[in-house]
Structure 1
């Protein structure tokens, strides 16, 4: 065996793992130095603003760079409009201006926590852009408009350079990641479903797989939203991709309901469970055949034909099942099985349609609906207001020359940590990055820069410092450190066209930055911390309220909106409780219960057979869980079933009743 043959697998593994990281770092440096050189040539007043933008918007893939850049421009422009307005109104009254600025940053922090993905980032930028431009302009309010124009030019330059470098130099397309995720999704689900139905899952694996499916649903929507920016073919399929995500969520909900019903049959009516096996056999064969198999538009076509045949065959087998004492349980399981096959067929048809640029299934007006608790958003807004207000008050009280840096860093730090699951941890990490950048920046600025001349040598001495920060951002455990390092290093330790040798001022600014990020971390830990039990309780309540939404929400596209809202709340809640597995398990149990009951309620409403008393009793039960309300809900269900409703309404009513009696449900622990 030749040496090349031996080393090739290792090199390929390195290229797929660490090689991608080093390509990204090379692109980061290229974009930074290109932006810096153009900014110096154009004699822009603050090249550091452009560099900070590069470090924030650069991503390993092109799609997120373009999406983040677009939202950054939008957020920056809105922030500039606000700050020019505030200076025009209160430029002569520093205290009033800073109070309004604190309110504005707080509002933006709350909105950044409310929204998802790069929409949240736009509000982050809107908040601290006002501080970056407005606070220095207090001493010269007449120059605020020109300052705003320069900031827009600097950020626009950085956005263009970042986008060009990301798209031209070893481009990494988000489309590849999106296709890979879509391709393996059904195979992974088939393996999970087959193992679940055959009792091969180890203890706790069912909950773990459900958490992963929720994260995948939210992650795929994020990936779709950024890929449409870079790839016209994905843009043509955006509606179908959104539809595919919604249909997959409905498949998982149907499967969870079927699994719960089969488990009840297994323990309470083993004879009926055994009688159902012939009807399940076709589904099990299908799942085993597609276990861990990739799926694309072409291979989805035979899957559609197979599911259509399986649907017909399963209906016939269900019709010929023997009568049993547990007929209602059997009918319910049969209805859920047919529902799962129907959802899988819809999913396969949409997947097959991706092979065409144009398709009728593209007409899909229902997007993924984010749902963040208003109290959590208000807590983020309050932290933003308090942090900036404290920094501004300290500046006004002491007239500290570095108070400008203090207020700006406080606004930037609290804005960047507002939408993170753990603002305290994010603030601490960014503070560590600030301290590291202060040391490295001092060495560079006062010990290295005086001994070099020319842009090439400047890039040469900057490269190691920037590589350090860039590398830290590529690791999840040190991402906050790297971001804090790069932002403060770029804003304080990189020379502008007019460079001032002022060690005292530099040290004071470093102290101000450290204090500001320290205050941000303390605010995240003290002012209504989102990783505390109060936040989990509110988010759990939001989960339970989805039953009321299913019972009384507008019926048009209700199933899709219910699915996306439920999963978004669960994903947000579990991210806040990342360090508390028991809390995550409890939230997941509530989410599964809400999905079971809510989905059945929606189906009853679609059939026009949802008893008002049942809907109201279930809403009250999940709104304020109590033993008495559970009895009332069961009584309402018994009364509805006593009226002998037709199928499939009777099956869904019976399923809801069984879900309330499920000993593994959180309702059973009341």
Structure 2
């Protein structure tokens, strides 16, 4: 069954390719194949997604060209130093690209790649580097502008329905998961199942970046989408916290009849398609009223039940707000949009992983060029250029080797097809019109593969092998020796990249997942440290983002390993409990402030130790005693906003850090 949207995308790309090829032939550009390849490298299935990337890619091309003109003429008499400078530049750009996980990363990626492909083929004869660089820039910019114009006209996809579909999927998934957690004994769900929700939250924000470039951005404002992202981020810790409290209640004292009735009503509302927003507001109010009555008993079971009620009420509020914001996406802007903040999530950054990617890329380029220069291989410059293309394209992967291996296989499969065209079909073609008609079946088929997410990784090597092998010069030339040399250069570049990748980037996804978990521990330690700046919103965004990053990697970790034991959701709940404690410090008496500070200092020490040793160490019993002391002091204070928030935060900490501990000592003494 042919998918009309995928076919429309492929036809749009082919039309852009035909226009680019016509302009390249008419303007007598020296490398029309390079312009044609740029069309398919630039094309993106979602219209709103490729426009910001187009702007960044153009900026990257111009930056790479400027670096080429700066380095090559000035260092042409010192090829070793020139290669070192180009490798350092490429490594720096890849470092910045991996560090910046927004569409802006394409600027750095293109700056690295364009400088490499403009410089390496002409290191032996740099006298014409200025004319060559200008030609490469024109070829790539013609291709980028052509594909932008065609896709903007035909608009295969828009960002707005993608955002609506992702948000709807998240809301339905969250409601199903929360209903399961509240209605029965809450067992540990599969790690990837829970963390997939965090991945959806992060992805929603990444798609929202494209809204200003989408033709339909006006009714679906970024403010509304970012506000929805913030609300959805609250759903994760609130749902898991409520389930955690209910687990503890069911394990010992049991659930009171009033709470059981409330749980049944909430479970019915949480089922997708059930209940309305007004009913949710009523249920949230009932939960808060029940929490007030339960807390008056001043015993541990009452505090647990009150905490569960308050978390469920906050969860309902977040889901209601999310549903309202979701309903507004794609609708005319409302008056309340102006009050929403236009600020995306702060994505977590890992300088170590980015530095490793940059170092591996720079080292790989030095090795390519060293082998090329030492062997005096005539096609070695092309090998270095292809190697730079592949290295830059997959530098952000945890372990690029498997992807590069599949890239090699797809390239080898395409060579016979390219030979059939070059030596059998194209010699019988006369004129531009016949050339376009002849190429249509193959390029449309490859474009359809590119539009399929499951097979899109095969498209780039197929396009690269096919288009480069054709040459697409103004005058047809079927040179078998040149075909073999070009093919060997491509395969050599891929093999060299694969070898260097296995040498420098063999740590794999588990190593990266451990780094993410440890970075989260370090951030929790910093959040709890009263000597450090207090940025709760920034921390929450980073924690949610890291939870999403771990999602795709956790499935590869062995079951029962310490990586699974490092429960990111528990750390997220603990971090969110730190926030009301720090906010309450200026509003409680001095003695109480000292007790809260002792709890925070204990948390800082615990998470600092976890970060240092790299394992999820258990919390010391002294920390539990400090939490119990702080709870007893807070219960003796008059009820007010900050006291209530700090009390519930301490209850949450005790539940997450010491789930199997007995009731606090002050209850036993009473």
SS at match of 1:616: helix
Q: 1:521 to 1:470 in 2, by over 3 A?
A: farther
Question: Which residue number in structure 1 is paired with residue 306 of structure 2?
Answer: 331
TM-score (norm. length: structure 1): 0.87
Instruction: Select which of 118, 128, 143 maps to 1:158.
Output: 143
User: 1:310-329, aligned counterparts within 5 Å?
Assistant: 310-321=283-294, 323=297, 326-329=301-304
Structure 1 residues 530 and 567, CA, compared in 2 at 3 Å: closer, same or farther? farther
Equivalent residue in structure 1 for 2:659, among 638, 659, 662: 662
Tell whether 2:19 aligns with 1:22.
no
- Whether contact under 8 Å (1:539, 1:569) holds in the other structure is yes
Structure-to-structure mapping, 1:450-465, within 5 angstroms: 450-465=427-442
Give the alignment of 1:4-83 within 5 angstroms. Answer: 14=1, 18-83=3-68
**Residue deviations 1:340-392, cap 9 Å, x none?**
24434543554466555254444415322222322221221122112111110
Alpha-carbon separation, structure 2, partners of 1:539 and 1:19: 40
Question: Counterpart in 2 of 1:391?
Answer: 368
1:424 and 1:521 in contact (8 A); partners too: yes
From 407, 410, 413, the equivalent of 2:384 is 407
Alpha-carbon distance between aligned partners in 2 of 1:485 and 1:505, rounded to the nearest angstrom:
19
| Residue in structure 2 matching 1:276, options 259, 270, 280 | 259
Q: How far apart, CA to CA, are the structure 1 residues paired with 2:533 and 2:162? A: 32
CA offsets 1:198-225 (integer angstroms, 9 cap, x no match): 1288x66564442221121122112212
Structure 1 residues 463-472 or 566-575, which shifts more? 463-472
| 2:664 corresponds to | none
**TM-aligned CA deviation for residue 418 of structure 1:** 0.6
Q: How many residues align?
A: 637
CA–CA distance in structure 2, aligned partners of residues 522 and 630 of structure 1: 46
- The reply to whether residue 633 of structure 1 matches residue 623 of structure 2 is yes
CA distance in structure 2 between the partners assigned to 1:268 and 1:230 by the alignment: 55
Q: Describe the superposition over 1:376-412 as per-residue Cα deviations: whole angstroms up to 9, x where unpaired.
A: 2122112211211111001111121101111101111
Q: 2:98 aligns to what?
A: 113
Tell me the equivalent position of 1:357: 333
User: How far, CA to CA, are the matches of 1:96 and 1:397 in structure 2?
Assistant: 15
What aligned pairs does 1:92-103 form with structure 2 within 5 A after superposition?
92-103=77-88
5+ long unaligned stretches in structure 2: 611-615, 636-642, 662-670
Is contact 2:160–2:216 with CA below 8 Å preserved after alignment? no
Matched, 1:423 2:400: yes
| Equivalent residue, structure 2, for 1:9 | none
Deviations 1:627-649 (A, max 9, x none): 57533432332332243353231
Contact persistence 1:188–1:292 (CA under 8 A) = no
> Quick one: structure 1 residues 547 and 169, their matched pair in 2 at CA, closer, same or farther if it must change by over 3 Å?
same
Matches within 5 A, 1:125-274: 125-169=110-154, 171-199=156-184, 205=189, 207-234=191-218, 237-272=221-256, 274=257
Contact 2:211 2:217 survives alignment (8 Å): no
Structure 1 residue 555: Cα displacement: 9.7
The match for 1:287 is 270
Counterpart CA distance in 2 for 1:285 and 1:578 is 32
SS in 1 for 2:55: helix
Given that 1:228 and 1:235 are in contact with CA atoms closer than 8 Å, whether structure 2 keeps it comes out as no
| Cα distance change on mapping 1:401 and 1:660 into 2, 3 Å | same
CA contact (8 A) 1:366 1:561 kept: no
User: In 2, Cα distance between the equivalents of 1:579 and 1:228?
Assistant: 37
The structure-2 alpha-carbon separation of the partners of 1:319 and 1:616, relative to structure 1 and needing over 3 Å to count, comes to closer
Over residues 557-595 of structure 1, what are the superposed CA-to-partner deviations in whole Å (9 max), with x where a residue is unaligned?
944322321232233334345544638994585211111
8 Å Cα contact 1:120/1:419 also seen in 2: no
Do 1:620 and 1:629's aligned partners in 2 also have CA atoms closer than 8 Å? no
Q: Quick check: 498-507 or 516-525, which moved more?
A: 498-507
Deviation at 1:428, TM superposition (A): 0.7
- 1:540 matched to 2:524? The reply is no
3-state SS of 2:439 partner: helix
Deviation at 1:262, TM superposition (A): 1.2
After superposition, where does 1:506-655 map in structure 2 within 5 Å? 506-552=483-529, 558-580=535-557, 582=559, 586-587=563-564, 589-608=566-585, 611-625=596-610, 630-644=620-634, 646-655=643-652
Is the contact made by 1:432 and 1:481 (CA closer than 8 Å) also made in structure 2? no
Shift of residue 601 of structure 1?
0.6
Change (3 A) 1:627 1:422: closer
The 1-side partners of 2:74 and 2:30 are apart by 25
- CA spacing shift, 1:539–1:145, aligned 2, 3 Å: same
> Equivalent residue for 1:7?
none
CA offsets per residue over residues 428-461 of structure 1, 9 Å max, x none?
1112233233333233223332222111222233
Whether the aligned pair in 2 keeps the contact of 1:175 and 1:234 (CA below 8 Å) is no
Residue 306 (structure 1) shift? 4.3
